[in-house]
Homo-oligomer: A and B are copies of this chain.
Amino acid sequence: MANVWSANANFKDGQLALCGIPAQQLAAEFGTPTFFLDEKDFRDRAAAWSRALNDSFGKDAGTVYYAGKAFICVEVARWVEQAGIGLDVCTGGELAVALAAKFPPSKIQVHGNNKSVAEITRAVEIGVATIVVDSLFEIERIAAAAKKAGKVQAVLLRLTPGIEAHTHESIATAHEDVKFGFSIASGAAWEAVLAVRKHSEIELRGFHGHIGSQILSMDAFEVAADRLIALLGQYRDEFGAELPELDLGGGYGISYLPTDEPLSPSVAIGALAVAVHAACKKYNLGVPKISIEPGRAIVGPAMFTLYEVGTTKNVVLESGATRNYVSVDGGMSDNIRTSLYGAEYIAVIANRTSTSESRSSRVVGKHCETGDIVIRNIDLPGDISPGDLLAVPATGAYGRSMASNYNHVARPPVVAVIDGKARVILRRESEADLLGLDV
């Protein structure tokens, strides 16, 4: 069974503690709901991916880019820099966070299927490492911005290698019905190669592929690597030069449930290295600098959400069985993944042990909506009561980052905990904040 908690979370006398601070104390000091972020765990995971890349690829290692979309704030951007890794941003807003953290532009990669001219211009001006190109229009926009800035902008082309991977299953199709990238199979990828080469203001450094999310096995990565490297071979054949970089994206899965067994960084990247080396040999290429983009795999397991239970209600189902509805003081505004993707989580009573028999339960939020569900099906102790604290692990990725103010519910803070000390790094919204845009 996998551990769904961060490294420095544990249970003492039945109470959850993070870095030695009991959940009850965290709730008393910071209120609920709150995201608690295990800072050392985050830093260690970032370091582990970096080490895995360097161990597996040595001098051919490129950059680990932390995918900011999973969760980013100014303080976390500082940690990313301190880890010595890069940052992947996909909007001007994420770039603004990076700049507020004084993140070096030379270690920033810019993504996005529809970057605005303003976003491109700013990225070029500040000197980001790489722009990952997603459409033919964008090639012209980057060239114009680089020309205006008197620069040569390094780019990768985002390609769709015809593989889609989700968790356990992966599908390899000839084409991909997605908004991202240039299809290799349709010839769009090659067309983009030719288009980029027309611009002296753009330096094509290589290709980029991203095949999915929450992936728990390596087979799809291996097929994707082979297809992307095949195109590097075609490029070499056509132009007599090897492109120096290949970004194989992110998508590495984590444990939401104890039955989700993720790959460790060393195992995942070790397997990737075998596939990359085999493909490079097959196409008679040197190994390019290999970059990866873990986001969820770094921040996901490092955070849990702490809620307070407000009500419970036993509802009689049609079968005659009952379901205990446990309402918490947050919900779909701080975790939309359950209703959006059917995502699954576990939860535990964080403030005490219970020997009460467990009951078929559903954890719901406080929103005025039937679909406002945090955990659809879970067995929880029958004595769970208002005032109990409920902790949901593995909420670091796409929890706070996708949070809304639906029903004018204030978004929860993120509290970093390390060495027995807890501090707010993203504060809770206030009533004034909720009214701050009214004119």
Contacts and interface: CB of A to CB of B under 8 A. Distances in A.
Given A116-B329, A313-B135, A315-B183, A427 B437 contact: yes
A404 interface: yes
Interface in A404-432: 404-411, 413, 424-427, 429, 431
Contact of A311 (B93, B138, B176, B186): B138
Contact of A336 (B113, B336, B434): B336
Contacts of A174: 318
A313 to B, nearest CB: 6
Contacts of A437: 73, 411, 413, 426-427, 429, 433
B407 A137 contact: no
A435 B135 contact: no
Interface string A172-194: 01111111100101101000000
Contacts of A178: 315, 370
Interface string A59-84: 00000000001001111000000000
A431 B96 contact: yes
A327 interface: yes
Nearest to A423: B439
Contacts of A336: 336, 340, 404
A244 interface: no
A241 interface: no
Give the dominant DSSP class at A's interface. Answer: loop
Nearest to A93: B408
Interface stretch (A7-15, A149-157, A360-368): A360-368
Nearest to A434: B93
A316 B402 contact: no
Given A92-B431, A114-B329, A426-B437, 10 more contacts: A73-B437, A93-B405, A100-B438, A113-B311, A113-B368, A114-B311, A114-B364, A336-B336, A425-B438, A433-B436
15 contacts: A69-B369, A75-B439, A92-B408, A114-B329, A116-B329, A135-B311, A175-B317, A178-B370, A179-B325, A179-B370, A186-B315, A186-B316, A336-B336, A401-B406, A401-B407
